[in-house]
Amino acid sequence: MKSIAELEEIRKKALDKMGIRTNTEGYRVVVGMATCGIAAGARPVMNAFMEELNKRGIKNTSVTMTGCIGVCRLEPIVEVIDPDGNKTTYVKMNAEKAVRVVTEHIVNGRVCVDLTIGSEEKK
Amino acid sequence: MRDLSLHLMDIVQNSIVAMSTRISISIAAYLESDELKIIVEDNGKGMDNEMLKKVTDPFVTTRDTRKVGLGISLFKASAERSGGYLDITSEKGVGTTLEAVFKINNIDRPPLGDVADTIAGVLVSNESLHLALTLSRDDEMFSFDTEEVKKMLDGVPINEYEVLNWIKGYINEGINVTFGGVLNEINS
């Protein structure tokens, strides 16, 4: 049985890690989490972002939620905002695509053009 | 919505949008009456009677970017389809309580789904929220409270990856202990 006392150990580890956290401004990942997003599978997408960022030790990228972005038919939708404030809107996301966005966009700075709303609308 | 945990996520988002700082979730199984009762209680801005009357209507929403609001109406339809009901009480400036009841052994009751994932998901971007979860089955009870966790963490953010992982594991254990063998999708 898990006990709340285990958090003490986790707290210590987290404090050690926080010491080496860089203060440079990072990316922001915003996942649409309204009825439409949730029904389309936004929760696993958010999880995939969290896991991949943790796996790669990326600490200065935040993952947050927002409501309905307004194009429900393209959910799950994820907005990635770079440190300069440029926003990329990814549509019809899933866990695999989320991993790709972390690797290509957040780590290497290359937008995954084929997953963006612009490219989807051209189809 | 595929399962109850996704409905729950949706309803909790409503509470957050209504500026709640405290949300209590209770999931309780009553074996005698074959009922699974989900209650979400918040201290958000609440609704007046007029809004309350029409809030389960899919063509009513507080948003102005679109004209439909499906969250509550889908949850209601889901409860009614499985022989249950959905009830909302609210007071402006005080908060809102939503109660959804499902017949446990009705073939149309959606599975519980990943409640732990829902709770962790909510905490990712709402770290200052006071969230309490109670799971119960007749005399068995499990509870989780973010305030207790925060006390232990002593300043470390609750949305740290490892902390969220622990929370998920903790809640999953609670679900297995409380609902294992009671809800047929959860093994005892």
Give me the residue spans of the domains in chain A. Answer: 25-122
The pLDDT value recorded for residue B62 is 81
The pLDDT value recorded for residue A22 is 57
Of A106, A117, A99, A121, residue with least CA distance to A28? A106
The pLDDT value recorded for residue B55 is 87
Q: Cis (ω within 30 of 0) for the bond into A83? A: no
Percent above pLDDT 90 for chain B = 83
Strands B22-30, B130-137: parallel, antiparallel or unpaired by DSSP? parallel
**ipTM of this complex:** 0.87
Distances, alpha carbon A20 to alpha carbons A28, A79, B123, B165, B171, in Å: 20, 27, 24, 21, 30
Nearest chain B residue to A46, by CA: B121
Centre a 10 Å sphere on the Cβ of residue B123 and count the other Cβ atoms it contains. Answer: 20
Choose the closest CB to A10 out of B65, B66, B163: B163
Please tell me the distance from the alpha carbon of residue A45 to that of residue B22, in angstroms, as a whole number: 26
Domain residue spans of chain B = 4-179
Which residues 49-88 in chain A show a CB within 8 A of chain B? 50, 54, 63-65, 67-68, 70, 72
Q: What is the mean pLDDT of residues B158-176?
A: 95
Q: Side chain identity at B76, as an amino acid letter?
A: K
Return the C-alpha torsion angle B69, B72, B75, B76, nearest 10: -110
Please tell me the distance from the alpha carbon of residue A98 to that of residue A89, in angstroms, as a whole number: 12
Distances, alpha carbon B59 to alpha carbons B2, B50, B88, B96, in Å: 22, 15, 17, 20
Q: What's the order of all strands across the beta sheet hosting B140-145?
A: B85-91, B95-103, B35-42, B22-30, B130-137, B140-145
Structural class in CATH, domain A25-122 = alpha beta
| Average pLDDT of the residues of chain B | 94
Percent above pLDDT 70 for chain B = 99
Q: Cβ(B167)–Cβ(B59) under 8 Å? A: no
The answer to whether the Cβ–Cβ distance between B124 and A38 falls below 8 Å is no
Q: In sequence order, which residues have a C-beta less than 8 Å from that of residue A60 and are 6 or more positions away?
A: A21, A22, A23, A24, A25, A26, A27
Q: Cβ(A54)–Cβ(B161) under 8 Å? A: yes
Regions of chain A with pLDDT less than 70: 19-23
Tokens, residue A12:
């210590």
What backbone phi and psi angles, to 5 degrees, belong to B78? -65, -40
Please tell me the distance from the alpha carbon of residue B164 to that of residue A94, in angstroms, as a whole number: 21
Residues from B in contact with A at Cβ < 8 Å: 1-2, 6, 9-10, 13, 17, 63, 65-66, 69-71, 74, 117-118, 121, 124-125, 148-149, 152-154, 156, 160-164, 166, 169-170, 173
The answer to whether the Cβ–Cβ distance between B66 and A70 falls below 8 Å is yes
Express each pLDDT in B56-113 by its tens digit. 888 888 877 677 778 999 999 999 999 999 999 999 999 999 999 999 999 999 999 9
Q: Cβ(A35)–Cβ(B10) under 8 Å? A: yes
Query: So what's the architecture of B4-179 in CATH?
Result: 2-Layer Sandwich (3.30)
Q: In sequence order, which residues have a C-beta less than 8 Å from that of residue B51 and are 6 or more positions away?
A: B60, B90
Strands A62-66, A28-32: parallel, antiparallel or unpaired by DSSP? parallel
The pLDDT value recorded for residue A19 is 64
